[in-house]
A = this chain, B = another copy of it.
């Protein structure tokens, strides 16, 4: 199987996201880093790309150079990952899609609904892949839950309860820490703080597992640390197209919660729950029966779950390999397989619509608002 050529924008030396993507892309031998514009500092970016094995003529100083350089090559990269600051995702992703590249964009895909719609339009016109890195959806046992719903194992989904809450911004004396402060400053973070940062992972997860989309929502936002302009705690009630009731809590001041992302899905004939800190198990309960502990790697799981697991039952697999699974699916898609479960530009757009809807609802004391992007309303 020939390795695919991969290019990266952002993720330079010292970033946290760079190594995560490189591990993800390279872990299974699917991609080889062939080009990069890794740093805002052109010099440093070029040097680091070469250190990572990129040829000198493909170690670019910025994304515009990379776009020019790659579009004219016969052996242009098969995939570009956009891992730059949030406000630049739109521009870069759009430019590469228009030039005929496949793109994996970090979340949030854009800063507005309009930009999101534009990306969807461009992606559709280009015929290229525009994926968004909702990597939690690529955990084997999350895929299993999605299959269980799709196959009717728990019946119609009545209710989804999902949380993404941590306490890492709970220290008010740390409020000037630049790694924290920007997240609650509209000038840098946009219209939403915690909900846009973490909540949309949970909202995507709900849609992903249910195989349905959010239609409307009602939000309650709070800045529990008063100096913050944007919310550090959010509760969002929602309804899906098919009638499923949703509850989503997201907080960054939940001191003691670490990576508190979990989901509970309750249907007519069963319930299940999954938590990101123990991602290799699903607790499944048939109605009237006992809770069963499902294990990654156990016999009888779906192909989706089996395909994305690397080691035998109960050997834990963690977050970096969930990212890797996004690349596994991208490689498969680039090689012609279907890509049903890959989070795509439409998902990125829906997230942005939900963020704006939640902000709008919260400003109206929880009024119910349409959560769908205009272009994706029926």
- Chain A interface (Cβ < 8 Å from any Cβ of B): 1, 3, 16, 19-20, 22-23, 26-29, 51-53, 158-159, 161, 165-168, 170-172, 218, 220, 222, 224-225, 233, 235, 237, 245, 247, 249, 251, 253-259, 264, 266-268, 270-273, 276-280, 283-288, 290-295, 298-299, 310-321, 365-368
Within the assembled complex, what's the spacing in Å between the Cα atoms of A253 and B268?
Answer: 9
Quote the shortest CB–CB distance from A169 to chain B (angstroms): 11
Candidate in A51, A168, A291, A310 with the most chain B CB atoms within 10 angstroms: A291
- With A1-B51, A27-B23, A259-B313 known to touch, is A254 a contact of B245 (CB < 8 Å)? no
Are B283 and A256 in contact (CB-based, < 8 A)? yes
From the candidates B220, B273, B315, name the one contacting A259 in the complex (CB within 8 A): B315
Within the assembled complex, what's the spacing in Å between the Cα atoms of A320 and B325?
Answer: 13
Copies of this chain, count: 4
Are B295 and A258 in contact (CB-based, < 8 A)? yes
- With A233-B245, A245-B222 known to touch, is A254 a contact of B264 (CB < 8 Å)? yes
Within the assembled complex, what's the spacing in Å between the Cα atoms of A133 and B318?
Answer: 20
Within the assembled complex, what's the spacing in Å between the Cα atoms of A174 and B229?
Answer: 49
Within the assembled complex, what's the spacing in Å between the Cα atoms of A320 and B310?
Answer: 8
Are A224 and B245 in contact (CB-based, < 8 A)? yes
- With A233-B245, A258-B295, A298-B290 known to touch, is A253 a contact of B159 (CB < 8 Å)? yes
Are A279 and B26 in contact (CB-based, < 8 A)? no
Report, nearest first, the 9 A-B pairs whose CB atoms are least far apart: A256-B285, A258-B314, A255-B271, A259-B314, A316-B318, A318-B318, A158-B224, A256-B271, A315-B319
Are A218 and B256 in contact (CB-based, < 8 A)? no
Apart from A26-B27, A161-B249, list 12 A-B contacts with CB within 8 A. Answer: A158-B225, A158-B233, A167-B285, A170-B271, A171-B287, A235-B237, A251-B266, A254-B264, A280-B318, A315-B319, A316-B318, A317-B318
Chain B residues whose C-beta falls within 8 Å of the C-beta of A285 in the assembled complex: 167, 255-256
Within the assembled complex, what's the spacing in Å between the Cα atoms of A165 and B366?
Answer: 23
Quote the shortest CB–CB distance from A294 to chain B (angstroms): 6
Within the assembled complex, what's the spacing in Å between the Cα atoms of A109 and B171?
Answer: 41
Within the assembled complex, what's the spacing in Å between the Cα atoms of A1 and B51?
Answer: 6
Within the assembled complex, what's the spacing in Å between the Cα atoms of A212 and B210?
Answer: 38
Are B366 and A291 in contact (CB-based, < 8 A)? no
- With A29-B26, A235-B235, A271-B254 known to touch, is A290 a contact of B292 (CB < 8 Å)? yes
Chain B residues whose C-beta falls within 8 Å of the C-beta of A51 in the assembled complex: 1
Chain B residues whose C-beta falls within 8 Å of the C-beta of A172 in the assembled complex: 268
Within the assembled complex, what's the spacing in Å between the Cα atoms of A142 and B28?
Answer: 26
24 A-B pairs (CB sep. < 8 Å) = A16-B311, A16-B312, A158-B225, A158-B253, A159-B251, A159-B253, A161-B165, A166-B314, A171-B288, A218-B220, A224-B266, A237-B366, A254-B271, A255-B267, A255-B271, A256-B266, A256-B271, A257-B271, A291-B292, A293-B293, A320-B321, A365-B367, A365-B368, A366-B368
